[in-house]
Structure formats: structure tokens, C-alpha cells
Structure 1
Amino acid sequence: MKSIKEITPIKSDDPFVILKHKNALFDYPLHFHNEYELTLITNFEGSRTVGDSVEQCEETDLTLLGPELKHLWKSDKVVSNSGVITIQFQEHFLHSKIMSYSVSKDIKKLLELSKRGISFSNPTKKLVSKKVQSIENNTDFKSLLTFLEILHILSTSKDIKVLSSPPSANYSQKRESRRISLITNYIINNYDQEIKLSKVAEMVNMSESAFSHYFKKRTSQSFTSYLMDYRLGVVTKLLTETNMSINEISISAGFNSLSNFNRSFKKKHGISPKEFKVNYHKEVQR
């Protein structure tokens, strides 16, 4: 499904820009932009699309999205007091001097993970919502401190959910370690084949247990979970961008049985592959 590129109002010397919309209509099409985006939506009834993730939202929705990650919100009905507060900040923030300090390591990890999109639940959502609503502008130094505090709270939160799979999120490994890059590239080139933990551990000269611990520490996911997410991301791209049959897609994504494929897909998305395809096109076109 086609998306449009949004040109944001942030200037080169802005630490961030704040956009506030009261009585939002949520009629903006599927889009992406070069900046990170923290979005707080209140009094909302509808769905959220982030990469290949399509979900019904709670009344209050808090998400952090990385650069070039396609997204949109669609309301089920017009709610007069729906509100949106968006904080956008530039991609080079991740590589700024402040991010090179050890105290910023959690924020740096958060921003890397946000390239797949992250949603937050309570109590983090409730705490951060108050702080987001308290920011008035991007010229006040106090606002900058509040912004950094928000990133710190989000980076240490356990109330997170990663939304999109690696392929659909344009997830980049350019700045990953050599070992992680080696493994992720191996997955990209071999996801349609059987991939064993013992094989990838051997590739980086580590025991299976040591590799499992290392991979989870660096990616916030187990290797098995990451591989499954990658394959399911391939599936959603094929479901939304091709006319291949469900069985053909299952085989192309490396699943060894159709029943295992359907079970894994439904566990992640809550619906069958066929239902996902229908719902996806319905959401982005209405």
C-alpha cells in the first residue's frame, strides 16, 4: 500500500518540535517522515497502523516511532474532544554528543528499537502523558529538560510493546555490532530455509547459551523471537503487496507447515492471515 512522505516543520537548530491538534479528525493518509515521533492521542476510538502492525487502540494511545516508519490512525467515529500531541525530533539526535555518554545508553537503545515502533501501556503511559501535556514549546530550556526526562522514563519502562516486524519497519543494522550484523544478514538471506540456533552460534564462535544471552541483550529479543518476527514481517509484506496464496506465502517465509504458520500468525496479530489481508486494505483505504 502506497504511503506519502511528510515534510515536517522542524528546523535544523530545533531540538524538537511540538504539534498540538484539538478535535482531531484522523483523516491524514498513511505516511512517513525522516524524524522520530512521540505521539500522544487522547479520547480516541479507532485503529493504529505502524509498519505491518494494525491494532485497535485504547482511549489513550502513546507511541514512539522511528524515522521512515509508515503510520496512520483511523477513527471509528468522530469524537469531538479527541486530541493529538506530537513531539518530533531529528534522526541525528541518536548520534549527538549527549547520546555518547554512558548515562544515555538506555535512551540510545530505545531509539534503535523505535525503528520498529513502540507502544506504551500503564503506568508508563499515564506518567508520560502528563509530562507530554505539560510541554508548551521548544524554545524554553525547561521544555528541553522535560523532553529528556520523558525519553529517560520511556527508556527504562517495562510497559512496552514492539509493533512492527523488522522487514516492514525498514529496520537498519548499519550501526549494529559486527556479530549482530552477521547474524541479521544471515537471516535476511536465509529466512526461507531452516535456521538452527546451533548454526548461528557457531558462526560467531559462541556457545548456544552465550549467544542467546548476547543476542537478547543487544536486540531486546530472543533469537527465536527475532527470527519469528522477521518471517512474519515477510508474510505481512507479501499479504499486503502481492496476490500470492496463503500456502505460497507460508512456504516463501520459511514455515515448515501451514498449521504452524497460521498458529504463529494468529498469536502475533490475533487474526488469521486471510483476515489480516482484508482488514489491512480496509483500514488504509477507508
Structure 2
Amino acid sequence: MKAVEFHLPQDVDKSFIVFRETGDFFPAPWHYHAHYEFVLVTKSTGRRMVGDHIGYFGEEDLVFMGSLLPHVWVNDPIYLERRADHKADALVLHFTDDFLGEDFMNIPEIENFRKVLKLSERGMTLLGDTRKKINALIKQMPDMNGLQRLSSLFLIFDIMSNTNEYELLASPRFVQNFHYGSSDRFKKITGYIMQNFDKDISLPEMAAVSSMGVTAFCNFFKEQFRVTFVEYLTTVRIGHACKLLSQNDRKVVEVAYECGFTNLANFNRQFKKLKSMTPSDYRRTLNI
């Protein structure tokens, strides 16, 4: 399933896009674009795929996604078969990091929101009061004048900058920039993992790459990633497996070995633990 580049129309007198998607179902294919994007579903149910994450959406579902992150929203059969008693409906906001000029995202007032933009590289589903507040603002934006709309977007930025009511979606494998602006040691570690995740990587090997002892490396890794090295490596491997399962018809056992797993049983167990489904079930969900 190859992602296509996709763009929404933008009015020449507006700096960012507010778009209502209404129809029997959501027609956009598996796609990506340079814009950051909010998707608020107001009517309809179904499943959404963001990077290698598959989740389910209903009314009031709100997701924020970073630039170039592949995604698709697929309606339930009642919509695809045109049996629903109402149209599917969603509101979409698109903006680029330079929509108010090249230096806008570098001004001091945006510092906290820049951290949110970094998180959005994996996609974020918003929860709780944060979702309620942002949904209320987005619903009003189509009827606002230009300055009101811009002011509401800034208010959304502020809400996003001061919340922990979210869940990250795609695995680290789908993050396209692995530098995170941190130390050379951090870059060496992430670079080595991405180049060698399909092989057997030992803790002593990683400690040597990072010029640290094994215990120091384990502590450093847990502090930086909030998970252990083994947990992270498994996530990267499963993320790559999802990519292979979506792009070719290799046997599951071939995918497992290509992603660095030494036996099929462990691959199936780890895949189900992270994705709540087997690799075969995952592949079937992609036949959309």
C-alpha cells in the first residue's frame, strides 16, 4: 500500500486551511503531505491508520499529525456501502511551519509549542478536556472571519503546549528525523539501531558504540527513551514489519526474519503485544 502525496485546496487570502470533509465516506487514500494536520471527526465511525498505528475513531475523535506522516481514515462498512442515515463529516486544519513567515516557529513565544510539533512526528490522539476545548474551537472556525480564525489557531497552540492529555500513535520507526537535536552520542545510538535492527544487537555492542559501560548505557537509554533498549529495539523491528506487511506479499515468517527476529513464535508474540493483533490480521486490515 504505497502512500501518495496529497494536498487540500487553500484559499489565496488565507494563511492556513480549514476544510470540511463531508460525504458518504472519507475518500482520501493512504497519503502524506508537508502540512501539519488536525483531524476532527464530527460524524462517522471506522478505523484510522497513522504511520504503523491502527486505531478506531468515532464522533469527536481528534488527532494531530506532523509533516510527512502517512495516514488514512477508513469508514465502517455502513458508510462505505451507503447505508448510514447521515453523511460522514470531519473538519481538517492544515498549516505549515512557515505559514506566518520563515522565522515564525523560532520566536520565543512558540518555544513550548515547538516541543509539541516534535511529538507530532508520531501522531497524537488528544484526550479529555484538551480534546473538548480544541474540538469546540475547530467547530467554530469555518464561520469565523480571518483574524478570528487565526486567533483561535493560536489558542489551540497554547492549549496543546500545556497539556499531557494525549497518546502518541506511530512507532519510532516512522519518525523521519532521528536526531532530536541532541548529543552526538544520542545520534550514534539511534543511527546504529536504525542501520542494524535487522541483526542481533547485544547490550555490550551498543555500550561500545556509545563509549559507555553496559550499566551506564542502560541507564542513559532508559532516561532518553523512557523504555529499555530491548523494548525500543522491538518497537523499531515491529514498525518495520508493519511496513513490509503493507508493501509486499512475503510470508509472515520471511518478514519476521528480515526484521531481526530469530523465530516466528517470538515475532508473533511481540507483534500482538504491541499491535493487539497478529501479523496476519494486520495484513488483512490493509486490504481496504
Query: What residue is the counterpart of 1:49 in the other structure?
Result: 49
Root-mean-square deviation over aligned CA pairs: 2.9
Query: What residue is the counterpart of 1:145 in the other structure?
Result: 151
Query: What residue is the counterpart of 1:211 in the other structure?
Result: 220
Amino acid at match of 1:230: V
Of residues 28-37 and 253-262 in structure 1, the stretch that sits farther from structure 2 once superposed is: 253-262
8 Å Cα contact 1:187-1:227 kept in structure 2? yes
TM, length-normalised to structure 1 = 0.83
Of residues 251-260 and 174-183 in structure 1, the stretch that sits farther from structure 2 once superposed is: 174-183
8 Å Cα contact 2:16-2:99 kept in structure 1? no
Q: How does 1:103-122 map to 2 (within 5 A)?
A: 103-122=109-128
Amino acid at match of 1:111: L
Amino acid at match of 2:44: F
Amino acid at match of 2:221: S
8 Å Cα contact 1:67-1:91 kept in structure 2? no
Give 1:138 shift. 7.9
Q: How does 1:89-238 map to 2 (within 5 A)?
A: 89-92=95-98, 96-101=102-107, 103-136=109-142, 140-167=146-173, 169=174, 171-173=176-178, 176-177=181-182, 178-197=184-203, 199-205=205-211, 207-208=216-217, 210-212=219-221, 214-216=223-225, 223-238=229-244
Give 1:139 shift. 5.8
Distance 1:240 1:21, change over 3 A: closer
1:54 aligned counterpart, secondary structure: strand
1:192 aligned counterpart, secondary structure: coil
Q: Deviations over 1:245-286 (max 9, x none)?
A: 2222222212244332212211221110011111212x2xxx
Give 1:210 shift. 5.0
Residue identity (%): 28
Give 1:96 shift. 4.9
Larger Rg belongs to: 2
Of residues 112-121 and 138-147 in structure 1, the stretch that sits farther from structure 2 once superposed is: 138-147
Distance 1:107 1:262, change over 3 A: same
Q: Deviations over 1:42-80 (max 9, x none)?
A: 222111122222222233221112222222212112341
Give 1:137 shift. 6.5
Paired with 2:88 and 2:95, the residues of 1 have a C-alpha distance of 23
Tell me, which stretches of 5 or more residues in structure 2 are unaligned?
A: none
Amino acid at match of 2:56: Q
Paired with 1:138 and 1:196, the residues of 2 have a C-alpha distance of 57
TM, length-normalised to structure 2 = 0.83
Distance 1:209 1:276, change over 3 A: closer
8 Å Cα contact 1:65-1:118 kept in structure 2? yes
Amino acid at match of 1:128: I
Distance 1:198 1:113, change over 3 A: farther
2:68 aligned counterpart, secondary structure: coil
Q: Deviations over 1:93-133 (max 9, x none)?
A: 69953433555343212212222222222232222211211
Query: What residue is the counterpart of 2:33 in the other structure?
Result: 33
Distance 1:21 1:161, change over 3 A: same
8 Å Cα contact 1:68-1:170 kept in structure 2? no
Paired with 1:12 and 1:232, the residues of 2 have a C-alpha distance of 42
Matched positions, count:
278
